[in-house]
Amino acid sequence: MKQEYLKELTPEVREQMKRNLVYVAIFSIIMFFAGFASAYIVSSGGSYWVKYNFPPAFYISTGFILLSSIVLQIFVSRVKKGKYAFVKLGVFLTFLFGVGFAVYQFKGYGQLVDSGAFVNSNIIVTEGKYGDYYTIRYNGKYMEVDGNEYYIAGKKVTPAQKEELSKYFAQLDTVAVDSRFHGPLKSNIEMLYKNQIVSFKNDKFYVQDTVELQFVDLDRMEKFAVHIRDKRGDFFHGGEYGKDFVIYYEGEELDYKDRSLYRKNGGKLDVGMQLSLNGSKDVATAYLYIITFAHLLHVLVTLFYMLSLSIRSFTGTLERYNYISLRMGSIFWHFLGVLWVGLLLFLLFIH
């Protein structure tokens, strides 16, 4: 009698134990991300900080994870009513939507990279900056840079011209370490070093056709070429300053004009602030990658669990008493969905 009683209680005891483990895991993850969120807020108020538009793919991924959570909840509620035939379809659809979330997360990272938001980079261009040592003449006309835009004779260069410049200078992005470039220089693109035309002959670069450029000059050329190759001007982030991205200093938005940053009161950054900015890393983007990728890792691990449940449901090894695993998995999956929405809102309003 006693054994039968214990046998009847075993599923409930088992479910309570698993539920407690899930809640402990959820609490640990909340504390983990709370720590990152706190560090994010503290860091954003005490240094140079970049705020920019979120990649559209992140919004699509949000739709996928919310849809997967809704689908899973519908089918779990049916299982609770004894409709076990819906398990196969419900878990499989949840898995597919979860994969969609992961795919668009990676697409979002690709969009970040395309916009110049890298895991580890400076905020502004310092070494190899256009105009410091090297400039360009295109079809005999001097090119100018403002922000991340190129201008020739006062007109913004076309995407085709920018692509032409990018492909040409991609040949020069390693001149300091090897001799991959073998010339000749392109006739309609002239590079000037300290306002003197650079020529190329006998696998060497010259100014005035006689003064050979030394390693330090080639190193500057290489850094300059990398920025032109990546269609970059004064900032690592692509797009228009003030529209696509903005730089803050200790919570104050900075203005940009004439290739310089200014405080809201009209004052130009002093020497100390400028030197600090020159060496500042884009910590905001680093945090964005870390926080979102940490969440994605939790999703990927849970997707493997969902895949396992889906396989077991199709092979018939997921018995009725094992639907505890499905219910516990659904709790954790819903939590990951809510967590992502919370992180997204946090990053949108703070970032």
Q: How confident is the model at residue 11 (pLDDT cuts 50, 70, 90)?
A: low
d(CA 213, CA 98): 55
> What pLDDT was estimated at residue 5?
46
Q: How confident is the model at residue 156 (pLDDT cuts 50, 70, 90)?
A: very high
> What pLDDT was estimated at residue 314?
75
| 320 pLDDT higher than 60 | no
* Contact (Cβ atoms closer than 8 angstroms) between residue 150 and residue 143: yes
> What pLDDT was estimated at residue 146?
93
* Contact (Cβ atoms closer than 8 angstroms) between residue 280 and residue 126: no
> What pLDDT was estimated at residue 33?
95
| 324 pLDDT higher than 80 | no
- What the block records as the tokens of 315 is 């092979």
> What pLDDT was estimated at residue 180?
62
| Residue 196 bridge partners (DSSP) | 193
Could you read off the pLDDT of 61-115 as tens digits, one per residue? Answer: 999 999 999 998 888 887 766 666 667 788 889 999 999 999 999 999 999 999 9
d(CA 142, CA 72): 61
> What pLDDT was estimated at residue 279?
86
* Range list of β-strands (E), the chain: 48-52, 134-138, 141-146, 149-152, 155-156, 189-193, 196-201, 204-207, 211-212, 245-249, 252-253, 255-257, 260-262
Q: Lowest-pLDDT range, 245-249, 281-285, 319-323?
A: 319-323
| 2 pLDDT higher than 50 | no
> What pLDDT was estimated at residue 69?
93
The overall average pLDDT reported for the chain is 86
Could you read off the pLDDT of 250-266 as tens digits, one per residue? Answer: 888 899 988 889 988 77
* Domains observed in the chain: 2-120+283-350 (1.20.120.80), 134-234 (no CATH)
300 burial via Cβ count (<10 Å: 0-12, 13-18, 19+): middle
Mean predicted confidence (pLDDT) in 140-149: 93
Which of 76 and 3 is assigned the larger pLDDT?
Answer: 76
Strands 141-146 and 260-262 come out as: unpaired
Q: What percent of the chain has pLDDT over 90?
A: 52
Q: Lowest-pLDDT range, 64-68, 90-94, 123-127, 310-314?
A: 310-314
* Residue in 21, 101, 96, 151 with CA at minimum distance from that of residue 310: 96
Q: What percent of the chain has pLDDT over 70?
A: 89
